[in-house]
Amino acid sequence: MSALPSGAAADRAARALAFAVPAALLGGAYIGQYFFHLIPCEMCWWQRYAHFAALGLAVLGLLRPSAKLLTSLAGLAILVGGLIGLYHAGVEYGWWAGITACTSEIKLGDDPLAAIMAAPMIRCDQVQWSLFGISLAGFNFLISVPAALLVFALQRRGNGGKP
């Protein structure tokens, strides 16, 4: 006997998970940014873009439960965000070379040039925070990929086991 729900309950669980995961990950990213001063690098933004897309698709999926494709696309965007997290973590740990671009956070004030010149440059290969040796990009991978696979499994259960 499977621990996963089936039928309509599986569909509801897939939609809820497709919404909750990107919402929680984006919430955590913004808490880190605005409360703990962790400035996102270029690859951090790539991960966020995927989760923004997933969140938008999941909201549409919640509004139109009959449009199961929206939840599937949200699950796919979550998976993409997690795989970008894996790539970013690999760059941070030196497993492979990353991009050369860096990013900065610019807050425009009276003198835009001074704001640009004073903005910190954040390298994509530098870990700003980790727990048990796992960076935030690594946690994104560890959370997003299984969650996306679970969304797909729940959708399959909701369809009676049909792909």
* 163 part of a folded domain: no
* Boundaries of domain holding 70: 8-96+103-158
Note down pLDDT in tens along the chain; length 163 residues.
467 667 788 899 999 999 999 999 999 999 998 998 888 888 889 999 999 999 999 999 999 988 889 999 999 999 999 999 999 898 888 888 777 555 555 555 567 666 656 666 677 777 787 789 888 898 999 999 999 999 999 998 877 655 5
How far is CA 18 from its chain centroid?
A: 11
Instruction: Say if 18 falls within a structural domain.
Output: yes
Q: What is the pLDDT of residue 102?
A: 55
Cα–Cα distance, 157 to 140 (Å, whole number)? 25
For the chain, the domain total comes to: 1
Residue 92 is assigned to a structural domain of this protein = yes
- Determine contact, residues 122/39, Cβ cutoff 8 Å: yes
Q: Which tens digits make up the pLDDT trace of 7-19?
A: 788 899 999 999 9
Query: What CATH number is associated with residue 63?
Result: 1.20.1550
Output the DSSP codes for the chain. Answer: --SS--THHHHHHHHHHHHHHHHHHHHHHHHHHHHS-----HHHHHHHHHHHHHHHHHHHHHH-TT-HHHHHHHHHHHHHHHHHHHHHHHHHTTSS---S--EE-----S-HHHHHHHSPEE-TTS-S-EETTEEHHHHHHHHHHHHHHHHHHHHHHHTTT--
Residue 144 lies in a domain: yes
Report the pLDDT value the prediction gives residue 30, as an integer from 0 to 100: 94
